[in-house]
Amino acid sequence: MNLQFIDTHCHLDGEEFAQDRDAVIQRAREAGCTAIFLPAIDVPSCHTVLDVCAQYPDVCRPMLGLHPEEVRADWRDQLAAIKSFLIPHSSFLISIGEVGLDYYWSREFEQEQLLAFEEQVRWAVELQLPLMIHCRKAQNELVTILKKYKDDLPGGVFHCFTGNEQEARQLLEFPRFVLGIGGVLTFKKSHLPETLVAAVPLNRIVLETDAPYMAPVPMRGQRNESAFVRHVITRLAEAYCVSEEEICRQTTENVKRIFAF
Ligand SMILES: [Zn+2]
């Protein structure tokens, strides 16, 4: 079967891929993956993301931003450094990300996270780039900030969505935003398939790995990679009662609509 899909969130610049990145990209291509979007999480990863994307310009595209778990007291300096990358790379840059709020492990830098996120939302408006959003245990706070910019934002992805129907509906109230769906969909105890079918039309979903994390069943626990998206496609097709081709066609169309790609 000749499926073609896009992995919208993959930390392919990570050291987990240092030894065999070529082979990983080769397997991705063979599986039908036509593009891989790489999110930065901090200043050093802006360098590594741009390096990998320069090495594989036909497949890899960069996203730049400060991840909420990397926000500390010095967030203003970090953002200034990241902002200096944006303009020189704006023609190649696909999104601001990954940015957002994460109160799962700690609320130590809660205020700093809020300020850093809002600043990067303003970049997205300024540069008219979509947002790649990471959110854990902070959806209400996140939605409050995004609402202020709702009409001006070009769109984006709520990456690694794992919430319930009500949370899905709240996020989909932002026009031009979609949910990023990955390996969690395939986990045995996941309610995500039922949630998606009940609350999320297929034109509001994009595919992702979040590699090296979140490998789908039957690869669960292993290092994730873009080729494994095929397992997510299979599960989505089952859940929505459509063909795998239809999942690929619709999710690729969604990516093209949101990203200038
Ligand atoms: Zn990520």
pLDDT at 60: 98
261 pLDDT band (50/70/90 cuts)?
Answer: confident
Taking only the tens place, the pLDDT of each residue in 11-25 is 999 999 999 999 999
Neighbours of 203 (CB within 10 A): 11
Q: How far is the CA of 101 from the centre of ligand 1 (A)?
A: 12
Query: What's the whole-number mean pLDDT along residues 140-149?
Result: 98
Query: CA-based angle 21:23:27, to the nearest 5?
Result: 115
Taking only the tens place, the pLDDT of each residue in 209-230 is 999 999 999 999 999 999 999 9
Give the mean pLDDT of the chain: 97
Q: How far is the CA of 149 from the centre of ligand 1 (A)?
A: 23
Q: How far is the CA of 88 from the centre of ligand 1 (A)?
A: 23
Range 237-241 contact pairs with CB under 8 angstroms and sequence separation of 24 or more:
238/193, 239/185, 239/193, 239/194, 239/196, 239/197, 240/196, 240/197, 240/202
Work out the percent of the chain whose per-residue pLDDT is above 70: 100
Q: How far is the CA of 213 from the centre of ligand 1 (A)?
A: 8
Q: How far is the CA of 234 from the centre of ligand 1 (A)?
A: 22
pTM: 0.97
2 pLDDT band (50/70/90 cuts)?
Answer: confident
pLDDT at 37: 98
Q: How far is the CA of 7 from the centre of ligand 1 (A)?
A: 12
Q: How far is the CA of 199 from the centre of ligand 1 (A)?
A: 24
Sequential DSSP letters for 190-228: --HHHHHHHH--GGGEEE---BTS-PPTTSTTSPP-GGG
Burial class, 166, CB count within 10 angstroms (exposed 0-12 / middle 13-18 / buried 19+): exposed
pLDDT at 1: 61
Query: What's the whole-number mean pLDDT along residues 186-201?
Result: 97
Query: CA-based angle 124:209:69, to the nearest 5?
Result: 55
Query: What's the whole-number mean pLDDT along residues 90-96?
Result: 91
Query: What's the whole-number mean pLDDT along residues 28-52?
Result: 98
Give the containing element (helix H, strand E) for 141.
helix 139-147
Contact 69, 105 (CB under 8 A): yes
